[in-house]
Amino acid sequence: MDTDKLRIEFQKNVHDFLRQNNKIEDLASAFPIYATNTELYHPALQSLQSKAIVTVEVKSTTKMTISKEGESCLAAGHTPEGEVMDIVMKGPIQKTVLLAPAPNAPQATDKKGKKVQDPRTVAFFALTKQKLIETDADGNVVVGSSLKQADGTTKPFEDTIFLALQQFAKGEDVKPELVKELTKKNYIEKQIIKSVVLAKGTAFDTFTTEEQVLLTNQMLLTDEWKTHTFKEKNFTVPADLPKWGKLHPLQEMRSHFRRVFLRLGFTEMFTRRYVESSFWNFDTLFQAQSHPCRDIQDTFFVASPTYTMPDQVLDAPCSLHPSLPAQPKNELERYYMGLDLPEELIPRIQQVHEGGGDVCSDSLGYRYKWNRAEASKVILRTHTTAMSTRTLSTLNEGLKRVWRKNPSSQSPERPLAHPPIHGEACLSHSLLNDAHSARFFSIDRVYRNETVDKTHLAEFHQLEGFVVGRGLNVAHLIGTITHFFAEVGMTQFKFQPTYNPYTEPSMEMHAYHPILKKFIEIGNSGIFREEVMVPLGIDKDVRAIAWGFGLERPSMLQCDVSEIGALFGGKVDEEWVRESVMKIPHK
């Protein structure tokens, strides 16, 4: 029978029943068929209700029922307390033997599946507290003082809770204080029972099955349709929306930021180097080799290859990507792995770390002995700033050529490929019109050995940007960043001074989270130190304003998520991705 016929039959039966009885107290028990296939019959019921043929009321009642724990107690014939008492009554027993878990016993868990103490251990402590048992100096568990009588004999122990549970199971009356006890111990629990109550509606008598006829292909072919009255179509009922493809909010945010950067004349950096050398990740950024953030707690070190130095590279596949060999076989592989240290830069970086040297004579460096092996350690990059120094190191010649050609001009050398975005008022605008600045950005994944919590992940995306040019200062930095965040509708944020080994001054960016109702750190920024710029071959009077922020946190703010795990990682819910709305102002 087709589903429409089934529904019509159901409606007819409900109508007949109501005509005779006036009321249906519980639809599911009067019509078990409804309970077994609500999806099929519920629309039929709704249709009766919408035409006022019936009235529908959902009633909730509560009932106490025996829980899973209660059932297992009944099956065992005692509570864990009763079991412990039975054993102890038979004679002293070593505590370790008494509490030893049964072989192959499953781990006790609570309703949410969380590990909990074994019930026997819980019973042991409860009985000890009530002085029903005690443990002597030799670790023997014996009957406790509250069961000892004046004449030296022992009172019997009564498992009252078990007896009450048995009474309850039989449907007998149980004293209220015992019901309380049974509930406390989770042997019985409240169950909410919902019942659908039906009564005659104001238009009860207008019920007819005639109009329910559906037009079929057959009817059209045989002209049978002419003899029927048809069900009126209701075009106001919202239909199920088809499933369509949707970008994950992070991707949306990423493409949006990317568009903003590109529009402002930034060039995207090559970032496919997830496995990086400590040299680029830390040393070129003037991060001391003993700096705590190089520690294993913050950085994922790659086991194989451990070092970039070819003679130390193990002949085993790379642990991160088995298809990449540990030892690059040719130039292309070497390039993609990008692990060889640049020999020409090493003495310069070494000098700067050790004391400034000729390279950076104004700096005192860290005054230690720089260790090449430390710089060769292979890691998962902890920030994309490693890509910024890689890029900076390739810029020197190119930049010089432009500046030499046009040493003092501040006017644009070529017209911008895009119209001004936020009008002339934006601080960054004049900067971005200046052909003397080179601008780079990247958005890619970074790794940190962090404890995962509401706002931290061990693997996330970082958005990196820098502008290099003469005469850049903190005002340009603040202006540029403010401009970026305005592009994603984020205006409530503030800067806070901080320390980075590679920038001076340095500023954290904090943005207001409307759900967490507080400012959360979203990024970090600053002006690259001379110790970073000069060894890479950039002129001393050239400044680079730079920033880096996570992609996840601004995305959390924009789609009202309070846990980062809901946005990225194994716990992301596909349905949520479909329904999520990113509050990016579209331009």
Q: Least CB distance from residue 493 to ligand PHE, whole Å?
A: 16
Q: Which of 400, 421, 420, 404 is nearest to 468 (CA)?
A: 400
Cβ-in-10-Å burial (0-12, 13-18, 19+) of 328 comes to buried
* Region near ligand PHE per CB under 6 A, out of 80-88, 267-275, 333-341, 524-532: 524-532
- The alpha carbon of residue 63 and the mean position of all alpha carbons in its chain are separated, in whole angstroms, by 37
Distance, CA of 563 to CA of 569 (rounded, Å): 11
Which positions from 104 through 143 interact with ligand PHE, judged by CB under 6 A?
none
Q: Left, alpha or beta for 34 (phi > 0: left; psi -120 to 50: alpha)?
A: alpha
The answer to whether 539 and 400 are in contact (CB under 8 A) is yes
Question: CB-wise, 162 or 466, nearer to ligand PHE?
Answer: 466
**CA atoms of 318 and 379, how far apart (whole Å):** 12
Q: Is 548 in the site for ligand PHE (CB under 6 A)?
A: yes
Q: Which two tokens stand for residue 243?
A: 């499933």
| Separation CA 323–CA 309 (nearest Å) | 20
| Chain residues 376-415 in contact with ligand PHE, contact rule CB under 6 A | 383, 385
Cβ at position 501, least distance to ligand PHE in Å: 10
Smallest gap from residue 524 Cβ to ligand PHE (A): 4
State the nearest-atom distance from the C-beta of 354 to ligand PHE, in Å. 23
The answer to whether 449 and 459 are in contact (CB under 8 A) is no
391 closest CA partner among 466, 460, 294:
466
Which residue lies nearer to ligand PHE by CB, 399 or 546? 546
Looking at beta carbons only, is 482 or 500 nearer to ligand PHE?
A: 500
Among 100-108, 180-188, 475-483, 541-549, the segment contacting ligand PHE (CB under 6 A): 541-549
Compare residues 383 and 390 and give the one whose CB is closer to ligand PHE: 383
- Structure tokens belonging to residue 347: 């003495």
Contact segment (CB under 6 A) with ligand PHE among 174-182, 196-204, 400-408, 519-527 equals 519-527
CB 248 within 8 A of CB 577: yes
* Closer to ligand PHE by Cβ: residue 548 or 554: 548
> Maximum distance among all alpha carbons in the chain?
112
Nearest Cα neighbor of 518 from 497, 539, 536, 492 is: 492
Angle between helix axes 80-89 and 119-129 (nearest 10 degrees) is: 70
Say if CB 531 and CB 513 are below 8 A apart.
no
Distance of alpha carbon 181 from alpha carbon 205, whole angstroms? 53
**Minimum gap (Å) between residue 445 Cβ and ligand PHE:** 13
Residue 125 · residue 84 · CB < 8 Å: no
Q: Does 278 bind ligand PHE (CB under 6 A)?
A: no
Q: Which helix (H) or strand (E) holds 254?
A: helix 249-263
Q: Which is nearer to ligand PHE, 328 or 526 (CB)?
A: 526
Query: Could you say whether residue 524 binds ligand PHE (CB under 6 A)?
Result: yes
8 residue type, one letter: I
Nearer residue to ligand PHE within complex by CB, 301 or 336: 301
CB nearer to ligand PHE: pick between 98 and 387: 387
Which residues lie closer than 8 Å to 174 by C-beta, 6 or more apart?
164, 167, 168, 182
Shortest Cβ distance from residue 186 to ligand PHE (Å)? Answer: 48
Stretch that binds ligand PHE, among 106-114, 157-165, 266-274, 544-552 (CB under 6 A): 544-552
- For ligand PHE, give the closer residue by CB, 157 or 547: 547
> Tell me, what DSSP letter sits at residue 324?
S
Nearest residue (beta carbon) to ligand PHE? 548
Nearest approach, Cβ of residue 254 and ligand PHE (Å): 17
Cβ atoms of 356 and 362 within 8 Å: the answer is yes
Strands (E) across 28-92 are located at 54-66
Residue 547 interacts with ligand PHE (CB under 6 A)?
A: yes
Beta carbon of residue 547, minimum distance to ligand PHE (angstroms, whole number): 5
Q: Which is nearer to ligand PHE, 545 or 582 (CB)?
A: 545
Residues 6 or more apart whose Cβ sits within 8 Å of residue 326: 304, 305, 313, 314, 315, 316, 317, 318
Interface residue with ligand PHE, options 391, 437, 503, 558 (CB under 6 A): 503
Minimal distance in Å, beta carbon 461 to ligand PHE?
Answer: 12
Determine the Cα–Cα distance for residues 187 and 169; give it in Å rounded to an integer: 11
Residue number with CB closer to ligand PHE (462 or 558)? 462
Tell which one of 442, 525, 555, 580 touches ligand PHE (CB under 6 A): 525
State how far the alpha carbon of 383 is from the alpha carbons of 114, 462, 520, 529, 550, in Å: 36, 7, 19, 17, 10
- The Cα–Cα gap between 373 and 353 comes to 14
The SS3 call for residue 47 is helix
Q: Does 554 bind ligand PHE (CB under 6 A)?
A: no
Work out how close the CB of 548 gets to ligand PHE at its nearest, in angstroms, rounded to a whole number: 3
Among 11, 455, 500, 580, binds ligand PHE (CB under 6 A): 500
Question: Segment near ligand PHE (CB under 6 A), from 143-151, 220-228, 352-360, 520-528?
Answer: 520-528
Minimum CB separation from ligand PHE for residue 66, in Å?
A: 56
Count of residues near ligand PHE by CB under 6 A: 10
Nearer to ligand PHE, 164 or 507 (CB): 507
Helix or strand run (H / E) with residue 494: strand 493-500
Shortest distance in whole angstroms from residue 474 CB to ligand PHE: 12
Q: Mark the segment that binds ligand PHE (CB under 6 A) among 20-28, 124-132, 243-251, 540-548.
A: 540-548
In the complex, the residues that contact ligand PHE under the rule CB under 6 A are 383, 385, 500, 503, 524-526, 546-548
